[in-house]
Amino acid sequence: MKLKPTIAVFAAIFASSVFSAPVNINTASAAKIAESLSGIGARKAEAIVQYRDSNGHFKSASDIISVKGIGQSIFVKNKQDILIK
Protein backbone atom coordinates (compact mmCIF):
# COMPACT_ATOMS: atom_id res chain seq x y z
CA MET A 1 0.00 0.00 0.00
CA LYS A 2 2.85 2.43 0.68
CA LEU A 3 3.99 2.20 -2.93
CA LYS A 4 0.83 3.74 -4.36
CA PRO A 5 1.57 7.34 -3.27
CA THR A 6 5.17 6.97 -4.49
CA ILE A 7 4.00 5.68 -7.85
CA ALA A 8 1.50 8.52 -8.14
CA VAL A 9 4.21 11.12 -7.46
CA PHE A 10 6.56 9.50 -9.96
CA ALA A 11 3.81 9.37 -12.58
CA ALA A 12 2.98 13.05 -12.08
CA ILE A 13 6.62 14.10 -12.43
CA PHE A 14 7.12 11.89 -15.48
CA ALA A 15 3.93 13.12 -17.14
CA SER A 16 4.83 16.77 -16.65
CA SER A 17 8.24 16.31 -18.23
CA VAL A 18 6.91 14.23 -21.12
CA PHE A 19 3.95 16.43 -21.98
CA SER A 20 5.59 19.85 -21.73
CA ALA A 21 6.32 21.02 -25.24
CA PRO A 22 9.14 23.39 -26.14
CA VAL A 23 8.05 26.99 -26.62
CA ASN A 24 9.25 29.52 -29.18
CA ILE A 25 9.97 32.60 -27.08
CA ASN A 26 10.01 34.74 -30.24
CA THR A 27 6.36 34.09 -31.06
CA ALA A 28 4.60 32.67 -27.99
CA SER A 29 2.19 34.63 -25.85
CA ALA A 30 3.05 35.39 -22.24
CA ALA A 31 0.47 32.83 -21.14
CA LYS A 32 2.07 30.09 -23.26
CA ILE A 33 5.56 30.96 -22.00
CA ALA A 34 4.40 30.85 -18.38
CA GLU A 35 2.68 27.52 -18.98
CA SER A 36 5.67 25.95 -20.73
CA LEU A 37 8.71 27.08 -18.75
CA SER A 38 9.61 26.12 -15.20
CA GLY A 39 10.08 29.00 -12.78
CA ILE A 40 8.41 31.46 -15.16
CA GLY A 41 5.15 32.88 -13.93
CA ALA A 42 2.85 35.41 -15.52
CA ARG A 43 4.99 38.41 -14.53
CA LYS A 44 8.28 37.03 -15.87
CA ALA A 45 6.58 35.76 -19.00
CA GLU A 46 5.17 39.23 -19.63
CA ALA A 47 8.67 40.65 -19.12
CA ILE A 48 9.96 38.25 -21.79
CA VAL A 49 7.30 39.42 -24.25
CA GLN A 50 7.94 43.10 -23.46
CA TYR A 51 11.69 42.61 -23.90
CA ARG A 52 11.06 40.89 -27.24
CA ASP A 53 8.75 43.70 -28.37
CA SER A 54 11.29 46.38 -27.40
CA ASN A 55 14.49 44.68 -28.57
CA GLY A 56 13.47 42.35 -31.37
CA HIS A 57 13.60 38.59 -31.53
CA PHE A 58 15.95 36.59 -29.37
CA LYS A 59 18.92 35.32 -31.40
CA SER A 60 19.71 32.40 -29.08
CA ALA A 61 18.02 30.69 -26.15
CA SER A 62 20.62 32.10 -23.76
CA ASP A 63 19.56 35.66 -24.69
CA ILE A 64 16.62 35.17 -22.32
CA ILE A 65 19.09 36.00 -19.51
CA SER A 66 18.98 39.62 -20.74
CA VAL A 67 15.41 39.87 -19.47
CA LYS A 68 15.23 41.41 -16.01
CA GLY A 69 14.31 38.70 -13.49
CA ILE A 70 15.59 35.81 -15.61
CA GLY A 71 18.87 34.46 -14.33
CA GLN A 72 21.29 31.75 -15.31
CA SER A 73 19.57 29.14 -13.12
CA ILE A 74 16.19 29.66 -14.79
CA PHE A 75 17.82 29.48 -18.21
CA VAL A 76 19.68 26.24 -17.37
CA LYS A 77 16.49 24.69 -15.98
CA ASN A 78 14.60 25.48 -19.21
CA LYS A 79 17.15 25.49 -22.03
CA GLN A 80 15.83 22.29 -23.60
CA ASP A 81 12.33 23.77 -23.72
CA ILE A 82 13.25 27.13 -25.29
CA LEU A 83 12.96 27.31 -29.08
CA ILE A 84 14.33 30.08 -31.26
CA LYS A 85 12.93 30.30 -34.77
* Predicted model pTM: 0.76
Q: Would you list the DSSP string of the chain?
A: -THHHHHHHHHHHHHHHHHPPPEETTT--HHHHHHHSTT--HHHHHHHHHHHHHH---SSGGGGGGSTT--HHHHHHHGGGEE--
The SS3 assignment for 74 reads: helix
What pLDDT is recorded for position 61? 97
Predicted local distance difference test score (pLDDT) of residue 21: 83
Q: What pLDDT, on the 0 to 100 scale, is given for residue 31?
A: 97
Is a pLDDT exceeding 70 seen at residue 12?
A: no
Q: What does the pLDDT look like over 23-63, one tens digit per residue?
A: 999 999 999 999 999 999 999 999 999 999 999 999 999 99
Percent of all residues in the chain with a pLDDT value above 70, rounded to a whole number: 76
